[in-house]
Structure 1
Amino acid sequence: MNLGVVFVAIDLDAQIYAALEQYFDDGKWNVDANESGVNNTTRFVSYGNYKFVMRIYENHADLDKVRFEYSILQKLQLSKLPFQIPKPVRALNGEYYTLMPTGKISILFEYLEGTRAVLTDKGHVTSIGSAMGALVTALAYINVGLEAAYEPYYDLYEIHPLVTREKLTEWLLSMQEGQYKKEAMLLETEINNLLNNLSNLKQLPVQLVHSDLVASNVLTKEDEVSAVLDFEFVTPDLRAMDAAVFINELIRYHSDRWELLEAFIKGYAETADLNTAEIKALPQLILLRSIVLCIHFLGRQWAGIDPPNDSEPYLDSFVKVHKWISLNQERILKLCYLCFEQEVSE
């Protein structure tokens, strides 16, 4: 199986060198690996007194997806956001991306100051909530006139080209024959519940959303959000989905820290809104994030990007989130109704 993209086996350093030659013609740059994201390869580049960040796309080699992301960033630069967003640098040929010898796409961004947000820091989480609300509000007014690069979260069989309905069904059945029997059965049940409730979900407000606004995609300075990163997955989706994504992360890593969840929701409510129907749907949307992570990383595993069985931790995580929601659904709904000044839904 493959994604229809053939990448030539070339040393990564040689690829990066070839890409940077398309930005600087004298070879006087330095590259630092430092850190890298889950989905893409990241390198930090210094050139004279300037610093940049290079992203090498590993999920795809689709220029339409890159064009959509770039158009969103261009439009958002005109919005009066209280934080910075990535700014692509034009190559010597005037393009805002480069094609590497392997066929992979890379983009060089201006370096943004700040340190990664800390998910256990209540002040950071409050600021993330407020920043997310401001971003969601700004994205509601963005229209780039291009076809969206990704489908909404609830389009489960469009998440990864290798994970079709048939293949996912086969995988779930195979997992039910091994040590992950209970987990796979629960995942199958919740997928069916979601599909049965789609008509109701599709009545909720829809707009452009970030889709992956987690702590690792946020920079902070002096305890305030200074930048929001990684707009690769921006797409029209349910407005409440960004909030659901971050709450999901809090549950996955710090399920016992209710004060963090409360801080995030209060911060978000300062700059954005959720209506009664959105709040009622929030538990299912939080769980949807975990379902999508299972499918996304299963696809990466089948594509050979990730090692075998790399999707199993996400299956464990799905079960953890499901259990938390079962125990805390009423409490989180009451908190949201209060913070967003909505009447309690029956």
Structure 2
Amino acid sequence: MQDAIDELVQHYFMDLNYKMASVPFGLTNLTKIITVDDTKYVIRIYNPYTKHAAGLAFESQITTFLTNKKLPFQVPVFLRTREGEEYVQLSNGMLGAIVSFIEGDVPTLLDIQQAVEYGQVVGEISSTLLNYDTELLEYQGISFSEIYHLHPLANRLAVTSFMENPPFPIAEANLTFYQEMISLLDKNIHELKALPQQLVHHDLLIFNLLAQDNRIVGVLDFDFTSMDASFMEFAICLNHILQMSSGSLEMAEGFIQGYVRYRKSSLQEINQLQLLTQVYHIAVLHFYIGQHHAGIDIKENFTYILNQFHVRNDWLNRNGLSLKQLLEFYLLGDTEVY
């Protein structure tokens, strides 16, 4: 792969004298940090199963749009090659690109104020993407509700085969739970089509954010951005705050307080929170199944997500009423959005 990296760098810089370092992110694609003339960049060679030319052009359009909005945080910007292109098709057929580097560390989610700031970032990204004129897009990504199309190696037959004959031990209770959720989703997935739609990042986890001096300054990884139910972004990030806080309603409320500064929601959306949460987890599981069929070891990640899915669904069953009251108070009420 070193030859491919050298080939990619040649398209951007005359001098191949660069330093390279590993990164704590980039599980889907080959991702490294390179330093050229004392300036850092992020170099990426994309997984051929999950990124194609239309997807790369789409990602560049989205990050350019967000950059032009002068948000209080940065997003990676695609550099132009010496030929003026946004990405490169390498001689091995894979696609590669170099994007801007954002200095910072992964923020923490340890107290209410950090939950509020996290909510603000999610709300502002969502509010900004709401205003993107999607009619200008030739490609709009793949909605997470398209659970059998998120990975080319994870169609319905491949997923069914995997779950009926898992390549590693899966607890029987989790297998039964998954089948129950799939059956439920088959009956109710049409309800998501009636929700407001917009561009959704889908991966605004704390691990894809960067902070300096306890303030979030960067938002990364737009690989899974697509048109989807607007409230999906909220559902994914609420799940994340609950996961990181062991189910704290206080931390969830802090997140909601931050989010509502930029976004409101409808009762129709709030009523579909649990279904959206189920779709999210199933989508991630199916993506991992695709990675398995591509030869990647998914045992740890798949097991973690399936366990989290079970825990979160049980938590929502127990705490749904209290959570709904919070959501209706903030997202439907007269709480000021500024």
- 1:147 CA displacement: 3.1
- 1:64 CA displacement: 0.9
Identity of aligned residues (%): 27
TM-score between the two structures when normalised by the length of structure 1? 0.88
Q: Is the 8 A contact 2:202 2:224 kept in 1?
A: yes
Partner SS for 1:76: helix
User: Which aligned pairs between 1:134-213 and structure 2 lie closer than 5 A?
Assistant: 134-143=124-133, 145-175=136-166, 179-213=170-204
- Name the counterpart of 2:54: 64
Provide, for residues 187-217 of structure 1, a one-character-per-residue CA deviation record: whole Å limited to 9, x for no partner.
Answer: 1211221221123221111111111111111
> How far apart are the structure 1 equivalents of 2:157 and 2:31?
34
Partner SS for 2:261: helix
Select which of 247, 263, 266 maps to 2:257.
266
> How far apart are the structure 1 equivalents of 2:16 and 2:42?
16
- Name the counterpart of 2:107: 117
- Name the counterpart of 2:34: 45
Select which of 14, 25, 40 maps to 2:14.
25
Q: Give the letter for the 2:138 counterpart.
A: E
Runs of 5+ in structure 1 lacking a partner? 1-11
Q: Give the letter for the 1:286 counterpart.
A: T
User: Which aligned pairs between 1:96-107 and structure 2 lie closer than 5 A?
Assistant: 96-107=86-97
Q: Is the 8 A contact 1:274 1:340 kept in 2?
A: yes
Partner SS for 2:271: helix
Provide, for residues 67-126 of structure 1, a one-character-per-residue CA deviation record: whole Å limited to 9, x for no partner.
Answer: 111111222222242221111111111111123343222221111122212233543332
Q: Give the letter for the 1:337 counterpart.
A: E
> How far apart are the structure 2 equivalents of 1:46 and 1:81?
26
Provide, for residues 267-290 of structure 1, a one-character-per-residue CA deviation record: whole Å limited to 9, x for no partner.
Answer: 101111111111111122122211
Q: Is the 8 A contact 2:42 2:99 kept in 1?
A: yes
**CA RMSD, Structure 1 to Structure 2 (Å):** 2.3
Runs of 5+ in structure 2 lacking a partner? none
Q: Give the letter for the 1:235 counterpart.
A: S
User: Which aligned pairs between 1:252-331 and structure 2 lie closer than 5 A?
Assistant: 252-307=243-298, 311-331=302-322
> How far apart are the structure 2 equivalents of 1:92 and 1:179?
50
1:50–1:289: structure 2 CA closer, same or farther, 3 Å change rule? same
- 1:143 CA displacement: 2.4
Select which of 125, 130, 133 maps to 2:123.
133
- Name the counterpart of 1:9: none
Q: Is the 8 A contact 1:262 1:335 kept in 2?
A: yes
Q: Is the 8 A contact 2:126 2:263 kept in 1?
A: yes
> How far apart are the structure 1 equivalents of 2:29 and 2:115?
25
- 1:342 CA displacement: 4.4
Q: Is the 8 A contact 1:298 1:310 kept in 2?
A: no
- Name the counterpart of 1:94: 84
Q: Is the 8 A contact 2:247 2:315 kept in 1?
A: no
Q: Is the 8 A contact 1:209 1:241 kept in 2?
A: yes
Q: Give the letter for the 1:247 counterpart.
A: L
Number of aligned residue pairs: 332
Q: Is the 8 A contact 2:159 2:289 kept in 1?
A: no
Provide, for residues 214-255 of structure 1, a one-character-per-residue CA deviation record: whole Å limited to 9, x for no partner.
Answer: 111111223222111111221110001111111222333432
Q: Give the letter for the 2:35 counterpart.
A: S
Q: Give the letter for the 1:16 counterpart.
A: I
- Name the counterpart of 2:2: 13
Partner SS for 1:115: coil
- 1:308 CA displacement: 5.8
Structure 1 stretch 95-104 or stretch 17-26: which is displaced more?
A: 95-104
Provide, for residues 143-184 of structure 1, a one-character-per-residue CA deviation record: whole Å limited to 9, x for no partner.
Answer: 252333532111111122222223323333335x97532211
Q: Is the 8 A contact 1:129 1:264 kept in 2?
A: yes
Partner SS for 2:157: helix
> How far apart are the structure 1 equivalents of 2:112 and 2:93?
42
Select which of 20, 29, 44 maps to 1:55.
44
1:38–1:258: structure 2 CA closer, same or farther, 3 Å change rule? farther
Structure 1 stretch 327-336 or stretch 252-261: which is displaced more?
A: 252-261
Q: Is the 8 A contact 1:61 1:104 kept in 2?
A: no
